[in-house]
Amino acid sequence: MERILIASTQRESSNALYDLISPLGFSDYEYAASGNEARRKIDSIDYDLVIINTPLSDEFGSELVLDIAEKSLSAILILVKSDLKEQVQDKVAVTGAFVVGKPINKQVLLQSIPFVLNSKQIISTLRQQNKALKKKMDDVKVIERAKYSLIKYLGLDEKQAHRYIQKQAMDLRVSPRVVADNILKTYEV
C-alpha cells in the first residue's frame, strides 16, 4: 500500500482520517480540499486508495466517485452521513466504491479498507480479462470476414479458407489476425 488521497473540505478532518488509518501502512498521503482538486491530482498520480469525506466544498462527492472509477483503478471509500448511506450506495454501486456511514467507527473503517483494496484488485483483474476477451472477439470477427472474402473471391469453402489463414500465419510467423487483415486489405477496397 503506497499512495492515498483524502478529499475533505477541512484539512483537519483529512489529517484525523489519516491518523486513524495510518496503522495500515500507507506511506504517501495527499490532501484535496475539493472535488476539482481531487480530479486534477488523480489525472496525474495513481492512488491505491481515495477516501472522500462528504460533502466537499464544490460538490457532494458521489460525482467524484463516478469520475474516479472511470479514470483510474483506485480503490474508493466514501464517507457519508448514515441517513444518506443507502441513497449514495445505490448511486455509486457500479463503481465498486465502499460507502461508510458517519459518525465513523474506527474498527469499521479499518476493516473496510482492506476489503475495498481487495475489491479493487478483483475489479482490475476482471477489466483486464474483459479487455482480452474483447480483443479475441474482434480478432475472430476479422478472421471470419477474411474467410468470407476468400470464399467470395477465390471460391474456397469455409474449411479451405480457415486452413489457408492458418497456414499463412504459420509460414509467415504472424498471428491469424495479421493474415486476416492483409486478406481484407487485398480483397476489400
**In the chain, where the domains are located:** 3-104, 134-187
Which pLDDT score is estimated for 94? Answer: 87
Looking at domain 134-187, its CATH class is: mainly alpha
CA distance 139 to 69: 28
DSSP assignment string, 44-80: H---SEEEEESSPSSS-SHHHHHHHHHH---EEEEEE
Q: What is the pLDDT along the chain (189 residues), one digit of tens a residue?
A: 578 999 999 999 999 999 888 888 887 889 999 999 999 999 999 899 999 999 999 999 999 999 999 998 899 999 999 999 999 999 998 888 999 999 988 898 888 899 888 888 888 898 899 999 999 999 999 999 999 999 999 999 999 999 999 999 999 999 999 999 999 999 987
pTM value > 0.85: no
CATH of domain 3-104: 3.40.50.2300
